[in-house]
Structure 1
Amino acid sequence: MAVCIFFFIILALTSSAIMASPSLDLVQSSCEDATFPKVCFHTLSVFKGPVTTPRELAQAAIKVSISRATKASDFLSELQKEANRREKGAVKDCASQIEDSVDELRKTLGELKELRRDTFKWQMSNAETWVSAALTNEDTCLDGFKEVDGQVRSDVKRKITNVAKVTSNALYLINRLDRP
């Protein structure tokens, strides 16, 4: 009897974990031609939540991008407290750019959640525009560090490049959507 109960518990946990994980076939086939395929596969194959369609995968990619951008924004906020006078301006400008990126990515996620057949092209145009703007903000952030040397520049570049990679992959997955 105890063995049966144990077996059913294991079966229930396993099946709920499988249902909550993305389909690896979907992730693999969708990520193989992404701008950064290894990053795409790595971040989306471990995503927590149901992902069974290309639309859900694009939403997951945006959620990953929002998460990474938010963490980068938090990092930049902390860095502003420690930066010297020369670095402070670049860090402050970068933080503002990344906050804008987070806002644009959130608008994109909202749009992807509400896709409708009659406004699909308009909604997709909005999503693509907002993600492209987020990428531009990330790029602009890095431009501000051309005159800054040292560890701060290196740390910011690493964080923002990571955000830009997942954001670029999200744009790729959005561009693959062909219907609501």
Structure 2
Amino acid sequence: MASYRSGLLCAIMFLAIHGGWAQTSDTISNACSNALYTHFCVSSLSKASGALEADLTQLSVIAVRLSSEVAKPVSRFIEKLKKRNPNVSALEDCSDLLKDTREQLHDSQSELKQLSNVNFMEYVEDVLTRLSGVETNQDTCLSGLKESNVPATLVSSVKDNTDNLTMLISDTLAVVSTLRQQGHI
């Protein structure tokens, strides 16, 4: 029994030290409840600056901002790959898709910041439409690479670098969908 308690105590200490029990809010839990990657959604948003005190509208802006911040290094990574593999035209397509992702996320963040009860449904629907389109960009990039018969290591490398972005965008879509269900600011 003593070894069980000792092991349990070590596990609790490990989780506390390494953030296994990150602080969260009811708003974050509610916003992430319908996310495909619920734990990832709660974890990422809970760590974001200002998220613990945010209302649902502010949390939507934060979620889009997080996706945008993750898109930047992914875009840079694709640009580096493109320079190292100039004959792989699918990388040019991936680069264009990531640029589109970044622009759409920027536009979505701007629109959410201007949200009011007057333009609520129009703006939220615009953002959801953009996010739905952006959500497919990474899959389109990977499909294009696979169809180009590039080495599997290249496809795997791109997938590894786009996975978090894909999950964040999916979770952001869930957060903004929760905002739409709320129906107002």
TM-score, normalised to structure 1's length? Answer: 0.80
Instruction: Please report how far the alpha carbon of residue 23 of structure 1 lies from its aligned counterpart in structure 2 after TM superposition.
Output: 4.9
Q: Which amino acid aligns with 2:128?
A: E
Q: What 5-or-longer segments of structure 1 have no aligned partner? A: 1-21
| Whole-Å separation in 1 of the counterparts to 2:132 and 2:94 | 17
CA RMSD after TM alignment: 1.9
Question: Which residue is equivalent to 2:92?
Answer: 92
Query: By how many angstroms is 1:125 displaced?
Result: 1.3
In the other structure, the counterpart of 1:110 is 110
Partner of 1:65: 67
SS in 2 for 1:117: coil
Q: Which amino acid in structure 2 is aligned with residue 153 of structure 1?
A: V
Counterpart-to-counterpart distance in 2, 1:109 and 1:144: 28
TM-aligned CA deviation for residue 28 of structure 1: 2.6
Match in the other structure for 2:165:
163
Cα distance in 2, alignment partners of residues 111 and 101 from structure 1: 15
Contact 1:93 1:141 in 2 (8 A): yes
Show the 5 A alignment for 1:117-156: 117-146=117-146, 147-156=149-158
**Contact 2:24–2:42 under 8 Å retained in 1:** no
In 2: Cα distance, 1:143 partner to 1:91 partner: 11
Conserved 8 A contact 1:62-1:170: yes
Equivalent positions of 1:5-24 (< 5 A) are 23-24=24-25
Q: Distance in 1 between matches of 2:24 and 2:54?
A: 6
Whether contact under 8 Å (2:31, 2:174) holds in the other structure is: no
What runs of 5+ residues in structure 2 fail to find an aligned partner? 1-22
Per the alignment, residue 77 of structure 1 pairs with 79
- Distance, in Å, in 2 between the alignment partners of 1:159 and 1:39 is 16
State TM-score, norm by structure 2: 0.78
- Contact 1:23–1:52 at 8 Å: present in 2 too? no
Q: Tell me, in whole angstroms, the C-alpha distance in 2 between the residues paired with 1:33 and 1:131.
A: 16
Distance in 1 between residues matched to 2:142 and 2:102, nearest whole Å: 16
Percent of aligned positions that are identical: 27
Higher relative contact order (CA 8 A, sep 6+): 2
Size of the aligned set, in residue pairs, is 158
Report the CA distance between 1:36 and its aligned residue.
0.6
Farther off after superposition, 113-122 or 48-57? 48-57
Deviations 1:41-67 (A, max 9, x none): 121111023542011111111011101
CA contact (8 A) 1:77 1:95 kept: yes
Counterpart for residue 184 of structure 2: 179
Per-residue deviation, residues 121-170 of structure 1 (Å, max 9, x unmatched): 11111111111111122221121111322321101012222211100100
Which amino acid letter does the alignment assign opposite residue 46 of structure 1?
K
- Paired position in structure 2 for 1:14: none
| Contact persistence 1:117–1:179 (CA under 8 A) | yes
C-alpha contact 1:142 1:160 (8 A) present in aligned 2: no
